[in-house]
Amino acid sequence: MTVDHPADLTIVTLVPLLLDTNGDAANARVLAQRARWAGLSARIVPVHSVADLPAVVDLVVIGSGTDTSLTAARDALSALADALRGWLGGGVPILAVGTGWELLSAGLDLADGSSLAGLGLVPGRAGLLPDRVADDLVVDAAGQRLSGFENHRRGYSGATASLGVVSYGTGNGDGTEGVRHGSFIGTHLHGPVLARNPHLADLLLDLACTARGLTPAGSTQTASVDGIAKAARNQVAVRLGLTAE
């Protein structure tokens, strides 16, 4: 176990050497920077094995990987299954993107017709779509827009609740996108998703701060960045024939 240093929030990124194909491990950097703008101290701890785990974990980020590294990534996450189970049961906010999410499900189908067992920690499984999807993805998440890009061969079924309804794109393949399971969010959105949708980052931060009894402060820097992100989402929406926010 690593030696800890005091910080308001500790953000763990799991197996980033294997699960960062689309830069999704950078979601941890978004969380840390927004925490700092809110007057809190934050640190990011890359975790590749149990030995890397800090004593306190406030937020968890899992990125996406390639199919060629699926077995290695699954085995690395399996070694951390007890920690993941504890975080899920304890309400620690977890964001998992792409294959990082799929590997926590019951399993995922592969292009060669075989399947790979997942960790079975979140409801559902990832099944093959008719074709690979690589396009913009826009989602209505309880009245708030999420925007990014998707690049995946598998959809998702069996989630107890989705992240939102697809306005443009494919997502899970059934008109919904992602999964919500307690404090866990799984999504196909890349970008990284939290840089393009900082309101989702703030949702995760608020959950973590509430658990720790912390009160984030307002920030002009945050407001400025939020405006830039909103303008970028609107530019995509207009290009796709959707209304602006």
Residues 20-78: tens digit of each pLDDT: 998 999 999 999 999 999 999 999 999 999 999 999 999 999 999 999 999 999 999 99
**Side-by-side strand order, sheet with 128-141:** 144-154, 128-141, 164-168, 176-177
Predicted pLDDT at 3: 44
Predicted pLDDT at 219: 87
> No. of H helices and E strands in the chain?
7, 12
Q: Has residue 115 been placed in a domain?
A: yes
> Which regions of the chain are under pLDDT 70?
1-6
Q: Which domain holds residue 36?
A: 9-239
Q: Has residue 3 been placed in a domain?
A: no
Find the Cα–Cα–Cα–Cα dihedral 243, 151, 188, 138, rounded to 10°: 0
Closest by CA to 122, choosing from 161, 172, 155, is: 161
| 91: alpha, beta or left? (left if phi > 0; alpha if psi -120 to 50) | left
Are the C-beta atoms of 208 and 93 separated by less than 8 Å? Answer: yes
Q: Has residue 2 been placed in a domain?
A: no
CB contact burial 119-144 (16+ within 10 A = b; e otherwise): bebbbbbbbbbeeebeeebbbebeee
- pTM reported for the whole predicted model: 0.95
Q: Has residue 89 been placed in a domain?
A: yes
What value, to the nearest 5°, has the Cα angle with vertex 11 and ends 10 and 13?
145
Predicted pLDDT at 49: 97
Phi and psi at residue 97, in whole multiples of 5°?
-115, 140
What value, to the nearest 5°, has the Cα angle with vertex 21 and ends 127 and 106?
30
For residue 6, say if its preceding peptide bond is cis, omega within 30 degrees of 0.
no
Residues with Cβ within 8 Å of 122's Cβ and at least 6 positions away in sequence, in order, are 88, 101, 104, 105, 159, 179, 181, 184, 186
CATH number of the domain to which 48 belongs: 3.40.50.880
Query: What distance in Å separates the CA atoms of residue 78 and residue 56, rounded to the nearest whole number?
Result: 20
Q: How far does Cα 38 stand from its chain's mean position?
A: 21
Lookup: tokens for 174: 């059934």
Are the C-beta atoms of 197 and 141 separated by less than 8 Å? Answer: no
Q: Has residue 175 been placed in a domain?
A: yes
Give a three-class secondary structure readout of 141-172.
Answer: ECCEEEEEEEEEEECCECCCCCCEEEEECCCC
Query: What distance in Å separates the CA atoms of residue 54 and residue 10, rounded to the nearest whole number?
Result: 8
Q: Has residue 4 been placed in a domain?
A: no
Q: Has residue 95 been placed in a domain?
A: yes
Predicted pLDDT at 1: 42
Pairing relation of β-strands 94-97 and 115-117? unpaired
Total domains, the chain: 1
Predicted pLDDT at 218: 83
